[in-house]
Structure 1
Amino acid sequence: MIVLGLTGSIGMGKSTTAKLFAEEGAAVHDADATVHRLYSGAAAPLVEAAFPGTTRDGTVDRKELGRRVIGDPESLARLESIVHPLVREAERRFLDEARASGAKIAVLDIPLLFETGRDAEVDAVAVVSAGAQEQRRRVLERPGMTEETFEKILARQTPDAEKRARADLVIDTSRGIEAAREQVRGDRALRRDLRRVFLARDRARHRNHRP
């Protein structure tokens, strides 16, 4: 089974692209969706203990929590120390189930893939990208989003140009969903592209270990 890490900066269309992979038969694990579930379950009391007043009726108030941690590296690190282990455990269960079901491709949708060093744990990386102006337009159309919040989020993320340079596959969403669908359509085409990546890596490793 090929494990593909899917990532992209805010507003690039990563969640939509993950759905396109699922439509083409890939098993997809959505880290954001997992966090949503955790915020209504196992993570809620832990977050409340670390950040009193950030839950309502046993569920994390994401807006209030974001107000507490965005722009505060220490608070953000504390939150990540709570949430990330729970997400990793959910990912492990997902991969075990995907292998058991005979899945050929498993996609891990991880927003901070490069930032957390998770790119070293997957077989290949797909980066979802669009132009900076399109990214800004999409993000600022979100309810409650401000320029200040947008800039704080961007400051935490690896620049898009660097992500594209480090990617094995780049999916451009700037031309709309149908164009993006064509880029990921067909399990056969995806596996062919990934095999090309693996062959190139194998050749590079062989050259590096040649006496």
Structure 2
Amino acid sequence: MIKLGLTGSIGMGKSTTAKMFAAQGVPCHDADAMVHRLYAGRAAALIEAEFPGTVVDGKVDRTLLSPHVIGKPEAMKRLEAIIHPLVHEEEKIFLQKARAEGRRIVVLDIPLLFETGGERRVHATVVVTADAAIQKERVLGRDGMSEDRFNAIVAKQMPDHEKRRRAHFLIDTGLGLEAAERSVAAVLRAVAGMV
């Protein structure tokens, strides 16, 4: 079973691209979505214990958590020490299920793939990219996003040009949906021969 690692900086269109892989019948494990589920489930009490006052009605409130961790590397490491092992457990369950179903290709959608050494867990990497101006426009259009917050997030991520250099495959979402869909199909054709 081929594991593709899908990544890209904030606002590059990674979630949309993951949906394109899913539409082609490829199971996708979305680490971000898993974090959201964990924040509303078994991670909530652990995070509340480490960062008191960040959980409301049994769910981590990201707006309350952000001031504790954004721009604070030591606090972010403490949060990651809680979340990352839980996400890895869920990923293992996903992979076991995909193997049991006889899947030939799966996608692991991992936001900080290269930053966390995640490329060692996959057979090939797919980087989603777009022009920096398109990226900034997309991100600043999100609810609750400020330029300062955007800059803090980008500063934590590996530069796009470095991700592109390390990628086995590139998908440029700045060229439109149809071009991205063609790129997804091309990636799947290329890796089908590896199975």
Gaps of 5+ in 1: 199-211
Find the aligned partners of 2:182 and 2:189 in 1 and give their Cα distance.
15
Scaled by the length of structure 1, the TM-score of the pair is: 0.89
Structure 1 counterpart SS, 2:127: strand
Quote the offset at 1:32 in angstroms: 0.7
Note if contact 2:169-2:187 (Cα within 8 Å) is conserved in structure 1. no
Quote the offset at 1:66 in angstroms: 1.6
**Highest CA radius of gyration, 1 or 2?**
1
Corresponding residue for residue 7 of structure 2: 7
Q: Percent identity at matched positions?
A: 59
Find the aligned partners of 2:52 and 2:14 in 1 and give their Cα distance.
32
Quote the offset at 1:191 in angstroms: 4.1
Quote the offset at 1:62 in angstroms: 1.0
| CA-to-aligned-CA distance 1:159-208 (integer Å, 9 cap, x gap) | 000000000000000022222112113xxx43442367x6xxxxxxxxxx
Corresponding residue for residue 193 of structure 1: 190
Corresponding residue for residue 103 of structure 2: 103
Corresponding residue for residue 139 of structure 2: 139
**Any runs of at least 4 consecutive aligned residues in structure 1 with deviations exceeding 6 A, and if so which?**
none
Structure 2 counterpart SS, 1:4: strand
Q: Output the aligned Cα RMSD.
A: 1.2
Note if contact 2:13-2:173 (Cα within 8 Å) is conserved in structure 1. yes
Find the aligned partners of 2:189 and 2:183 in 1 and give their Cα distance.
13
Counterpart of 2:21 in structure 1: which amino acid?
A: F
Of residues 3-12 and 173-182 in structure 1, the stretch that sits farther from structure 2 once superposed is 173-182
Corresponding residue for residue 77 of structure 1: 77
| CA-to-aligned-CA distance 1:22-57 (integer Å, 9 cap, x gap) | 000111000011011101110000000000000001
